[in-house]
């Protein structure tokens, strides 16, 4: 995910983090200068949903406008699967362990 708050703020005419911080405080969200700097300058690792709700109210947008999906990054994280000799073969049957009876999976 990419954090898009700075661009959305610019679209609303908010150019400085101090101005955004003041607007958030007026809406009931007191943010420290350090946290505001992190929200303004980069992508936060975590954000509370209550805080996100106030940010969206101030910027008059929905969360989808602030959080941009990056499918290429997700695909790059997937582990590479090794190709088997017979890729069309059926997966092995699941059988109960000997000595520890368990029910068989549904058919």
Helices 17-26 and 33-41: crossing angle in degrees, nearest 10, is: 120
Confidence (pTM)? 0.66
Query: What pLDDT is stored for residue 84 in this prediction?
Result: 56
Map tokens 């029910």 to a residue. Answer: 103
List the one residue out of 57, 67, 46 whose CA is nearest residue 20: 57
Domains of the chain, CATH where assigned: 2-73 (1.10.260)
Question: Phi, psi at residue 88, to the nearest 5°?
Answer: -85, 0
**Segment 94-101 long-range contacts (CB within 8 Å, at least 24 positions apart):** none
Judged by DSSP in three states, 48 sits in coil
Q: What is the pLDDT of residue 94?
A: 72
pLDDT string in tens for the chain (107-residue length): 889 999 999 999 999 999 999 999 999 999 999 899 989 988 888 899 999 999 999 999 999 999 888 888 878 888 877 655 566 677 777 776 676 666 666 66
The encoded tokens of residue 10 equal 């610019």
């Amino acid at each position: 995910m990419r954090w898009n708050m700075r661009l959305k703020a610019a679209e609303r005419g908010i150019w400085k983090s101090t101005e955004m911080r003041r607007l958030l405080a007026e809406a009931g969200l007191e943010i420290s200068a350090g946290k505001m700097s992190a929200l303004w300058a980069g992508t936060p690792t975590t954000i509370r949903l209550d805080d996100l709700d106030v940010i969206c109210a101030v910027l008059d947008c929905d969360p989808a406008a602030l959080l941009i999906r990056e499918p290429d990054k997700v695909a790059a994280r997937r582990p590479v699967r090794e190709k088997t000799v017979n890729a069309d073969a059926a997966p092995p049957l699941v059988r109960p362990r000997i000595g520890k009876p368990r029910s068989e999976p549904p058919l």
